[in-house]
Structure 1
Amino acid sequence: MTGPADQPRRDEPASAPPAADPWKSFRGVMAGTLILEAIVVLLALPVVGAVGGGLTAGSRWYLIGFAVLLFLMAGIQGKPWAFWANLAVQLVLIAGWLIYPAVGFMGLLFAGVWLLIGYLRHEVLRRQRLGLLPSQQRPQ
């Protein structure tokens, strides 16, 4: 049975909610980007088969293996080196130019996306160091 002793008193200050972790959402953005990139790479299979020189065993395994790698990398985004690994893996996709130029173009496009994510990462770090993030502001 609950009584008045179990209820918080009205004159006691309410406990503040825990501060939001900006890196939690940032890891989600990076994982989501990797999953979208993996889907785009898998969608390149019919394009390479129809327009390119045709799907060979090597090109098929390259594209499927790369998509699997991207899916697996989505699970390690909590590691401190994950962003740099994400950026480095774009070089592997750019090397896909040898299979079909559109695959290399996808690599260049996603390298640009990862450079933009890198800029956003730098900006969050800068604002966190200066105490300018909304979760670091005191309520008025």
Structure 2
Amino acid sequence: MARNRFHETSGPSQRQLRVGELIRRTLSDVLNRGDIHDPDLNRLSITVGEVRVSPDLKVATAYVVPLGGKHEDDMFALLERNRSELRRAVSKGLTLKFAPELRFRLDETFDRLDDTRRLFSDETVRKDVDS
């Protein structure tokens, strides 16, 4: 029992990582192909950067960003409106006992990457790194 608690705090399991990546690819394909019956959602280009899955594999949090970084509010409203259809479409490609509940969050990875680049290009930081 203590080992399971330790394992859960040490990061996601291999299974969580595999299922998360499978859901990410499947969700990306569904959104790119326009499989959802919502023309407003199909007009948007959405990048799915990562999917994190809960330890029981019942909740999948997709980190998404609209292409160009604009219309975030519209994107989230459309994803929420079509959540059940997206869940069904994604679950078709999975061999899990339960179709995971989909949650959507803004993927801020690209923003953090830009901040890091900006930080490393600063003269005082560059001096410290070079020395």
TM bucket, shorter chain: 0.3 to 0.5
TM-score, normalised by the number of residues in structure 2? 0.36
> Rg: which structure is higher?
1
TM-score, normalised by the number of residues in structure 1? 0.34
Larger proportion of helix: 1
